[in-house]
Amino acid sequence: MQADYDLVIVGAGPAGLTSAIYAARARMKVLLIEKTAPGGQVIITDWIENYPGFPDGISGFDLGEKMKTQAENLGIEIESAQVSSLELSGDQKRIALQDRTISAWSVIVASGASPKRLNIGEEKFIGKGVSFCATCDAPFFRDKTVVAVGGGDTAIKEAVFLTRFADKVYVVHRRDELRAEKIIQERAFANDKIEFVWDSVVTGVEGFFGIERVSIENVKTGEKKALEAAGCFIWIGVIPNTDFLENSGVELDESGFIVADSDMKTSVPGVFAAGDVRTTPLRQVATAVGDGAVAAVAAEHYTESINK
Amino acid sequence: MAEKIIEVNDDNFEEEVMRSDKPVMVDFWAPWCGPCKAIAPTVVELEKSFGEKVKFVKVNVDENPITPSKFGIQAIPTLIFFKAGEVSDQITGMVSKEKIEESVKGLI
Section B7-13 average pLDDT: 97
CA distances from B65 to A242, B9, B10, B13 (A): 38, 9, 8, 12
Residues of B within 8 A of A127 (CB-CB) are 73-75, 78, 92-93
| Residue A300 backbone class (left: φ over 0; alpha: ψ -120 to 50; beta: rest) | alpha
Indicate whether B2 pLDDT > 80. Answer: no
| Share of residues in chain A with pLDDT > 90 (%) | 94
The confidence score (pLDDT) of residue B3 equals 63
CA pair distance B100, A282, nearest whole angstrom:
33
Could you report the per-residue pLDDT of A39-78, keeping only the tens digit for each? Answer: 999 998 889 999 999 999 999 999 999 999 999 999 999 9
> What's the angle, vertex CA A102, arms to CA A14 and CA A267, rounded to 5?
60
From the CA of A217, how many Å to the nearest CA of chain B?
26
Indicate whether B103 pLDDT > 70. Answer: yes
Indicate whether B1 pLDDT > 50. Answer: no
Between residues B95 and A95, the one the model is more confident about: A95
Could you report the per-residue pLDDT of B64-82, keeping only the tens digit for each? Answer: 999 999 999 999 999 999 9
Backbone φ, ψ for residue A10 (5° rounding): -100, 110
The confidence score (pLDDT) of residue A308 equals 67
Note whether A241 and A258 are within 8 A (CB).
no
Helices then strands, each counted (H, E), chain A: 6, 19
Residue of B nearest to A99 (CA): B98
Nearest to A136 among B76, B97, B98 (CB): B76
Show which residues of A are catalytic. 133, 136-137
The edge-to-edge listing of strands for the beta sheet with B78-83 is B6-7, B55-60, B24-29, B78-83, B86-92
Show which residues of B are catalytic. 33, 36
Residue of A nearest to B69 (CA): A140
Note whether A205 and A146 are within 8 A (CB).
no
Compute mean pLDDT per 10 residues along chain A, 308 residues long, and list them.
95 98 98 94 91 96 96 95 95 95 98 96 92 93 97 96 97 97 97 98 94 97 98 97 96 97 98 98 96 98 91
The confidence score (pLDDT) of residue A209 equals 85
Could you report the per-residue pLDDT of B19-63, keeping only the tens digit for each? Answer: 999 999 999 999 989 999 999 999 999 999 999 999 999 999 999
> In a 10 Å sphere around its CB, with 0-12 CB exposed, 13-18 middle and 19+ buried, how is residue B101 labelled?
middle
Mark which residues 42-61 of A lie under 8 Å from B by CB: 43-46, 59-61
User: Do residue A59 and residue B34 have CB atoms under 8 angstroms apart?
Assistant: yes
The confidence score (pLDDT) of residue A245 equals 97
A14 part of contact set with chain B, CB < 8 Å = no
